[in-house]
Amino acid sequence: MLHAKNLPHHFWAEAMNTACHIHNRVTLRTGTSSTLYELWKGRKPTVKYFHVFDSKCYILADREQRRKMDPKSDEGIFLGYSTNSRAYRVFNSRTRVVMESINVVVDDSSADKELDVEDDVGTSCQPADISVEVDIPESTTQQTEEVSLENKSNKGPSIRVQKNHPKELIIGNLNEGLTTR
């Protein structure tokens, strides 16, 4: 995981903890149809909070005193899950510290975009020479122009006026618009 994401080697413990955490909740036990977590806790695990390792994340800075125009969050790297609480383990890029926080928004879409770019680099696309001739009959274009002009001339009041007021109760010219005294 570290080599694939080009992370420093001092994050190896975080990568191992994340791998074990996910492995215990996803891998099926041989001979049974239950995971290790189900055998341990007696219920199915919740996996909706799983995020991609090394995704960009935003950490709400609730521990520090902030002034009015200071940013409310710091950018960081998602490293894994806390073993003692519901918090996430993240690397704060500004303070250069690994911390646990529950107030984290993880941007998984940035990791998906990086994977798509890496997959596209290996494939080369050659532009195809395709020529298509399209015949457009002139009579149909003239008929559509006549119909569109007729529809514009028979324009009634806007939908807003028709919806809220009957035509009999409107005083003045409908096409004139709104006038004030």
Number of domains in the chain: 1
Q: Which domain holds residue 91?
A: 2-120
CA gap 158, 156 in Å, rounded: 6
Average pLDDT value for residue range 30-57? 75
**In the prediction, which pLDDT does 128 show?**
47
Are 26 and 47 a contacting pair, CB within 8 Å? yes
pLDDT at residue 54, as a whole number:
75
pLDDT in tens, 110-125: 655 555 545 555 544 4
DSSP 11-40: GHHHHHHHHHHHHHHHPBPTTSSSBHHHHH
> What is the per-residue pLDDT for 124?
47
- The confidence band for 104, taking pLDDT boundaries of 50, 70 and 90, is confident
Which region among 34-38, 128-132, 170-174 has the lowest average model confidence (pLDDT)? 128-132
pLDDT for the residue 66: 80
167 found inside a domain: no
The answer to the question of residue 53 being in a domain is yes
Contact present, 79 and 18 (Cβ < 8 Å): yes
Per cent of the chain over pLDDT 90 is 0
Cα distances (Å, whole numbers) of residue 9 to 13, 48, 176: 9, 28, 73
Selection from 95, 103, 100, 104 nearest residue 51 by Cα = 104
The mean pLDDT value of the chain amounts to 70
pLDDT at 150: 52
Banded model confidence at residue 163, pLDDT cuts 50, 70, 90: low
- Bridge partners, residue 81, by sequence: 88
Percent pLDDT > 70 in the chain is 58
The first and second tokens of residue 139, run together, are 């009579």
Residue 132 has pLDDT above 80, yes or no: no
In a domain, 175, yes or no: no
Q: What's the confidence (pLDDT) of residue 55? A: 81
**Has residue 91 been placed in a domain?**
yes
26-30, 54-58, 63-67, 150-154: least confident range: 150-154
115 part of a folded domain: yes
* The predicted structure's pLDDT at residue 3: 62
List the end-to-end C-alpha distance of the chain, in Å, as a whole number. Answer: 72
Q: 104 near 88, Cβ under 8 Å?
A: yes
In a domain, 132, yes or no: no
User: Is residue 165 included in any domain, yes or no?
Assistant: no
Residue 168 placed within a domain:
no
